[in-house]
Amino acid sequence: MRVLFATSEAAPLVKTGGLGDVAGALPAALAARGADVRVLLPGYRPVMAALAGTHHGAHHRADRGADRGAGTSARSRMQPGVTVPAHAGIPAACLLERRGPGDVPCYVIDCPALYDRDGGPYQDATGIDWRDNAMRFGLLSRVAALLGCASSPLDWRPEVVHCNDWQTGLAPAYLRYATDARAASVITIHNLAFQGIFPPGLLAPLGLPPASFTVGGLEYHGSISFLKAALAFADAITTVSPTYAREIQSEPLGFGLQGLLGQRADVLTGIQNGIDTGVWDPARDPHIVARYGPDSLDRKAANKRALQKRMGLAADAAVPLVAIVSRLTEQKGIDLVVEAARWIVGLPAQLVVVGTGAREYESAVQAVAARHPGRAAALIGFDEPLAHLVEAGADMFLMPSRFEPSGLNQMYSQRYGTPPVVHATGGLADSVVDCTPATLADGTATGFTFAAATGIALLDAVDRAVTAYRDPPTWRALQRNGMARDFSWSAAAARYVEIYARVARRA
Ligand code: ADP
Ligand code: GLC
């Protein structure tokens, strides 16, 4: 099965959140199941820099593990670029073939006018969306579709184009209106809250026919919706957990697309994400102070000491340390943490927040830290090594998300013996088993869940967690249950391969 995995980010080359982690790991898991999968990624400045610094031939597959940890896994297999012609208002580009994350072949779209700049993949350094995002991701979508057509400039032709989120959402529309389309398409929704809505005047520059601009197509309240294009035209729709697949078929989590998703329920599947168990492994993690496994959990204490020191918290081995690493946005329920903070530190417990996002939340968590010196601490920034130390050093991990399509940190936390405390929504509900007398007795308990996204419910769950923490046999059981769970990508990869086979057959 030949699959083109089109994505706007892929760790460790470029990552703003969970999509980066998924695209950095799932393709390799698909390859391990025998799929001939290749990644398609925009050539942002840092991606080009990372790939340019690689030497061809000098590194072999055996280097891979170490490379990943150091964040420089891409090894090029130098080949001259292939030209992709301009299309309507979308400029011409050059397609470079390299080795991407996990040693998976990767096509990088080199188009300096659209991608060669400082700042993030979606926004400039001040947090404003790039003004030309429609064209930047129109190009990504267009190339994804073109590679699935007879007119592709490459010899290699995918049977399935696997799109991810709105940034690749136009690909199924381009395929739908191509006269020589060969590939089927799949769209995975990682977050329905981001839809890629642009003015209707961009239809012609994007090279899409007026016929596509209808209620049954990509028109959304008079605008162009990249994500709706994919939901309307893709052969299959997946999202990143079974519960989220149900939640998005009604208000409020359908974000206006619940009707369309309900109509297409027969091709909609929820597949819980996996995690990269090589990168997130407490027994091998290069970013933590003391490595450990289920039988050496005592060593976790050294990581807690290091985290307390790093964050300026009191060095106290006994006090439970509660942490969160997250985008600081309304989705993630950061305001609930701020609201509950003074009660949490009063339990007593220590609180660590690491994240970036909305200015108001950044200031609010900084204010919490300032109010409770030694007991609460905040780091505003994106710090991957610190995220690993937090997983290893904290006693429990908070995820009070209002909605969470999959969530990854609750799985990292279980693997690190750091029971998560989560709002029972989406992928959090699907991957954390609440600690009750029954689930403790049958050995399934792995964390704490709460039903309402409120500060009180969050506090109540943290309180239950702290009570369990004070009972070492219970706590060890919770930690070991979580560490024993298989969160690897292999089960999810098998489900994707089934879906590819189904849509390819139909195409
Ligand atoms: P989302 O994609 O909605 O942000 P996920 O739970 O799927 O949520 O994934 C978030 C990923 O980004 C995790 O790997 C998490 O550790 C990481 N992350 C988020 N914020 C930060 C940060 N400030 N520093 C380091 N890593 C972060
Ligand atoms: C999105 C979701 C998150 C999910 C990630 C990867 O960013 O918010 O829940 O884990 O995508 O699928």
Each residue's pLDDT expressed in tens, for the chain with a length of 507 residues: 999 999 999 999 999 999 999 999 999 999 999 999 999 999 999 999 988 765 332 222 233 333 333 333 333 334 568 999 999 999 999 999 999 888 999 999 999 999 999 999 999 988 899 999 999 999 999 999 999 999 999 999 999 999 999 999 999 999 999 999 899 999 999 999 999 999 999 999 999 999 999 999 999 999 999 999 999 999 999 999 999 999 999 999 999 999 999 999 999 999 999 999 999 999 999 999 999 999 999 999 999 999 999 999 999 999 999 999 999 999 999 999 999 999 999 999 999 999 999 999 999 999 999 999 999 999 999 999 999 999 999 999 999 999 999 999 999 999 999 999 999 999 999 999 999 999 999 999 999 999 999 999 999 999 999 999 999 999 999 999 999 999 999 999 999 999 999 999 877
| CA–CA distance, 28 with 38 (Å, rounded to integer) | 9
Helices (H) and strands (E) in the chain, counts: 19, 18
Q: From the CB of 406, is ligand 2 less than 6 Å away?
A: yes
The CATH number of 2-274+490-506 is which of 3.40.50.2000, 1.20.140.10, 3.30.1010.10, 3.30.70.260? 3.40.50.2000
Q: From the CB of 431, is ligand 1 less than 6 Å away?
A: no
| CA–CA distance, 272 with 406 (Å, rounded to integer) | 6
| Cα 380 to ligand 1 centre (Å) | 13
Q: From the CB of 357, is ligand 1 less than 6 Å away?
A: no
Q: What is the 3-state secondary structure (H, E, C) of 61-111?
A: HHHHHHHHHHCCCCCCCCCCCEEECCECCECCEEEEEEECHHHCEEEEEEC
Q: From the CB of 192, is ligand 1 less than 6 Å away?
A: no
pTM beyond 0.85:
yes
| CA–CA distance, 131 with 90 (Å, rounded to integer) | 14
Atom of ligand 1 nearest to the CA of 355: 23
Whether residue 307 contacts residue 321, with contact meaning beta carbons closer than 8 Å, is answered with: yes
Q: What fold, for 297-483?
A: Rossmann fold (3.40.50)
Atom of ligand 2 nearest to the CA of 426: 9
Cα–Cα separations (whole angstroms), residue 495 to 26, 181, 248, 273: 12, 25, 20, 11
Whether residue 183 contacts residue 148, with contact meaning beta carbons closer than 8 Å, is answered with: yes
Q: From the CB of 413, is ligand 1 less than 6 Å away?
A: no
Give the start-to-end residue ranges of the domains of the chain.
2-274+490-506, 297-483
Does 297-483 match 2-274+490-506 at the fold level? yes
